């Protein structure tokens, strides 16, 4: 099993190209099931989750062709054609590895009238519920049954447009129902829909495929169902979580770095905070420049919230930054329970963090100290890397397969701007 070794204390200088967004690429790949023509996706990151999705689509008879990127500054290309959908079962062995596999539920029922999809591993109808997905598809006429760890869904005559009211904002449920609604008979209205850029990106791709969608980027999306969709070519938007993570890497380590192939509009909630922390942020012709020189970062409190609020997927990274800041900050997690699993590992590096319910109270220390730590999930692993950049001595991050699910060539990108970081085999 690989590990990442970091010698802390190096300042960062140069440019980091931002990859395409994994959280956009996965539902975009599923969209190929909605048509028998070819969907071409460009700027796709080469990540474990993306490869898992390609394997899942192959199991349904999709022709999957992958062309790797020629450099760090561009993504790869997928050509996907579901000319004939064979089978309608997403097995547990695939879905347990990647929660986004559940997106195939709505698309499969829309295309072939039925689907059998495993409940995501460790989830059921629990802390990260899929009941919002199911209720949304039921509102479009699907019959749903749950047995032996699988969701059985069917709508033999196809989906029928209706009003879907989400009781809480859910990105995944919005994406699942949005794809299903494109082929429904009549009009579908999604109320309290998620507004994230990844939703807009998926909607724009579906429009390019012939869907009729209005209201993208708002909490009310209207879909006029069409009889069929056709092929299209679409470029995946930049990864805002990667953008934010590397912006905070500069803020915690110091230096001057331009993040290219990205946009400040994707991550304004963080960029508005960084000047308060003590970093300078400016827009460039090709992305964002982040500079931090001089004194320690300053403490700033934050609550996570659905877009356009502060992303839960940047909470762990921001906590690492606050662990080195002057003063005390309060970080409140409002989206997911149990998303403070990185706290004990940051404490191993010398951080002073106390958790009270949904809030972490972080008292910044003058310096962190390198130590062996263990990644518990994707975002936690990136927070440990950021902490390691600032820590004195050597930090060893174990179980980095979590990182490989969401960050493309992380150690290569950070090495290129001066970080002392390398991947080692056990």
Residues 204 and 198: their CA atoms lie apart, in Å, by 10
Active-site amino acid positions: 123
Interacting residues of 71 by C-beta distance below 8 A, sequence separation 6+: none
70 belongs to an annotated ligand binding site: no
In angstroms, what CA-CA distances link 142 with 89, 145, 425? 16, 10, 48
2 belongs to an annotated ligand binding site: no
Q: Count CB atoms within 10 A of the CB of residue 68.
A: 10
Residues 337 and 130: their CA atoms lie apart, in Å, by 15
DSSP H/E element including 361: strand 359-363
Residues 227 and 266: their CA atoms lie apart, in Å, by 33
93 belongs to an annotated ligand binding site: no
Residues 34 and 205: their CA atoms lie apart, in Å, by 12
Residue burial 360-375, b: 16+ Cβ < 10 Å; e: rest: bebbbbeebebbebbb
331 belongs to an annotated ligand binding site: no
296 belongs to an annotated ligand binding site: no
129 belongs to an annotated ligand binding site: yes
Residue 424's φ and ψ, nearest 5 degrees, are: -130, 150
404 belongs to an annotated ligand binding site: no
335 belongs to an annotated ligand binding site: yes
228 belongs to an annotated ligand binding site: no
CA 356 to chain centre: 26
18 belongs to an annotated ligand binding site: no
Residue ranges at the known binding site: 22-23, 99, 128-132, 313, 335
Residue ranges at the known binding site for UDP-N-acetyl-alpha-D-glucosamine: 99, 128-132, 313, 335
Residue ranges at the known binding site for phosphoenolpyruvate: 22-23
């Amino acid at each position: 099993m690989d590990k990442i070794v970091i010698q802390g204390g190096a300042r960062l200088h140069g440019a980091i190209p931002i990859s395409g967004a994994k959280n956009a690429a996965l539902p975009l790949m599923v969209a190929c099931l909605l048509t028998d023509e070819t969907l071409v996706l460009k700027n796709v990151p080469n990540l474990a989750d993306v490869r898992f999705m390609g394997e899942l689509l192959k199991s349904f008879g999709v022709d999957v062709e992958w062309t790797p990127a020629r450099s760090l500054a561009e993504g790869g290309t997928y050509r996907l054609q579901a000319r004939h959908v064979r089978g309608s079962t997403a097995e547990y062995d695939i879905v347990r590895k990647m929660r986004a596999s559940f997106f195939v539920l709505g698309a499969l029922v829309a295309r072939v009238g039925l689907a059998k999809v495993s409940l995501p591993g460790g989830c059921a109808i629990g802390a990260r519920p899929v009941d919002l997905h199911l209720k949304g598809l039921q509102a479009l006429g699907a019959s749903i049954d749950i047995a032996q760890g699988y969701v059985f869904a069917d709508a033999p005559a196809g989906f029928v447009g209706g009003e879907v009211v989400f009781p809480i904002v859910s990105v995944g449920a919005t994406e699942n129902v949005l794809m299903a609604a494109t082929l429904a008979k009549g009009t579908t209205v999604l109320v309290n829909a998620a507004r994230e850029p990844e939703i807009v990106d998926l909607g724009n791709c579906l429009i390019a495929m012939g869907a009729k969608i209005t209201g993208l980027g708002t909490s009310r999306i209207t879909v006029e169902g069409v009889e069929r969709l056709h092929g299209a070519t679409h470029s995946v938007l930049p990864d805002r979580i990667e953008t934010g993570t590397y912006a905070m890497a500069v803020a915690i380590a110091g230096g001057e770095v331009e993040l290219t192939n990205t946009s400040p509009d994707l991550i304004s909630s963080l960029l508005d905070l960084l000047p308060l922390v003590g970093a300078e942020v400016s827009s460039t012709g090709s992305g964002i420049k982040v500079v931090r020189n001089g004194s320690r970062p300053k403490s700033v409190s934050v609550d996570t919230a659905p877009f356009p609020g502060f992303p839960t997927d940047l909470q762990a990274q921001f906590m690492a930054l606050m662990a080195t800041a002057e003063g005390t900050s309060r970080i409140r997690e409002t989206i997911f329970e149990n998303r403070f699993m990185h706290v004990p590992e940051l404490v191993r590096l010398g951080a002073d963090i106390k958790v009270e319910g949904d809030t972490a109270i972080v008292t910044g220390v003058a310096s962190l100290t390198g130590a062996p730590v263990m990644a518990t999930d994707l975002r936690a692993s990136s927070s440990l890397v950021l902490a390691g950049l600032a820590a004195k001595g050597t930090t060893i991050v174990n179980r980095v397969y979590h990182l490989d699910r969401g960050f493309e060539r992380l150690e290569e990108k950070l090495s290129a701007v001066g970080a002392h970081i390398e991947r080692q085999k056990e």
